[in-house]
Amino acid sequence: MAATETTQIPLGFRAPNFTLPDAVSGREMSLNELKGENATVVMFICNHCPFVKHVNAELVRLANDYMPKGVSFIAINSNDIENYPEDSPENMKMWAERLGYPFPYLFDETQDLARAYHAACTPDFSIFDKDLLCVYRGQLDGSRPGNNVTNDGRDIRAALDNILAGRPVSSDQRPSLGCNIKWKGNRRT
């Protein structure tokens, strides 16, 4: 496991469109059908990463708290399943059902979407406003496996609360930290 931070890029970019299969339903789903009325949270996660396992319960709480407020959550797995079979769509479905994900868990087999979103790690979070412009790229909270910081989603909750209140999202954004995305051929390009 190589600890990797979110790639910091200028905010304001438009969410790249996509259509990907949902591991649970088997349906193809697009950004246009999944986007939220007020905001959309795009999360690159996977099944085996200890950083993701550490935050899974909070991801479910966060989504359950904010989905009724017009915020959409979309989880995407872009890992190479040939070398990391625990991240296969069959295992994605098992994990999503076991954990009670209230959001779709999409599989990015080509890894093109991870590249388009500049995703570098799992978990990797981007929040888009109602116009699908990125207003946040950072951590869920300061909690990491073993650091004894409360796992409460405070950074993403603060960003979403500002969006919902019509206030700007703070530009003080700390990158997420997690396992690197498992690129095919062990490289990003």
* pLDDT tens profile 142-186: 999 999 999 999 999 999 999 999 999 999 999 999 999 999 986
CATH at 172 = 3.40.30.10
Residue 147 three-state SS: coil
Size of the chain, expressed as the number of residues it contains: 189
How many structural domains comprise the chain?
1
* pLDDT tens profile 85-143: 999 999 999 999 999 999 999 999 999 999 999 999 999 999 999 999 999 999 999 99
Range of the domain at 123: 3-186
Neighbours of 154 (CB within 10 A): 16
- Measured N-to-C along each axis, helices 89-99 and 50-66 cross at an angle, to the nearest 10 degrees, of 50
Rounded Cα–Cα distance for residues 30 and 109 (Å): 15
Residue 95 is given by DSSP the state: H
